[in-house]
Amino acid sequence: MRIIPAIDIINGKCVRLTKGDYSTQKIYNENPLQVAKSFEANGIQYLHLVDLDGAKSKHIINHKVLYEISTKTSLKIDFGGGLKSSEDLKIAFENGASKITGGSIAINNPALFLEWLDQYGADKIILGADCYNRKISTQGWQKCSETDVLDFIKDYENKNVKYVICTDISKDGMLQGPSTELYAEIIEQTNVKLIASGGVSSVKDLETLKEIGCEGAIVGKAIYEGKIKLNKLSMLC
């Protein structure tokens, strides 16, 4: 299972939210590159970079942070947040993203998302399936749809999506464990490569996610709050 630390960006700074609530933001470092380099120094190969400003706006915003990290580390970056047009996608790839994650776009403009999938391939385009009470959320988790997360994933699997990042918003930033039952259900009923996100609080959580068959696991607040040491993460990679 791939271990994927997360860096969330607001105003160019490394922050974390609780349950996606922007009013709960806590700044952990004003220099995201410094954080990324610490991951790399500890043997980490992957990074989940999220433009939270972009997620709430109509376009990508923090692409300069993406560029700096991609050019000054060897981390393989999946980038999400604010990708609402083909121009945004082009900017993300030109600034060093290895993959991009499309969430809101897959609900609001599925034709465009499928166009990206066809143009760039299933190894480059990740489906973002962020949910609250199993319902897909969009616009930086500010809006909730009526679409069930499993139905959403199954529909896109039929359209050749290969990778899915699934975040249970109720777990995100809570440090109370991930939605293992939901992930097990998705893994049992689909063949997607599932990347779990939200709630990881310990190495044991990661071992459980590996046991149920997750392809990857994103870790955020547990690192920043010292619940999981980076040298412990590197041992799992």
Would you name the residues annotated as active-site residues?
A: 8, 130
Cβ proximity of 163 and 80 under 8 Å: no
If we measure between CA atoms, which residue out of 156, 154, 150, 114 comes closest to residue 133? 150
User: What is the DSSP code (8-state) at residue 87?
Assistant: H
CATH for 49: 3.20.20.70
DSSP-assigned beta bridge partners for residue 86:
none
Are the C-beta atoms of residues 47 and 69 closer than 8 Å to each other? yes
Helices (H), 102-164: 104-108, 110-120, 149-157
| CB 102 within 8 Å of CB 125 | yes
pLDDT at position 237? 64
What pTM was computed for the model? 0.93
**pLDDT value, residue 83:** 93
**Cβ contact 43:49 at 8 Å:** no
Give the chain's domain count: 1
Residue with tokens 């299933």: 122
Task: Give the pLDDT confidence score for residue 139 in this predicted structure.
Answer: 57
Q: What is the pLDDT of residues 171-198, one digit of tens each?
A: 876 678 999 999 999 999 999 999 999 9
Query: What is the domain extent for residue 129?
Result: 2-236
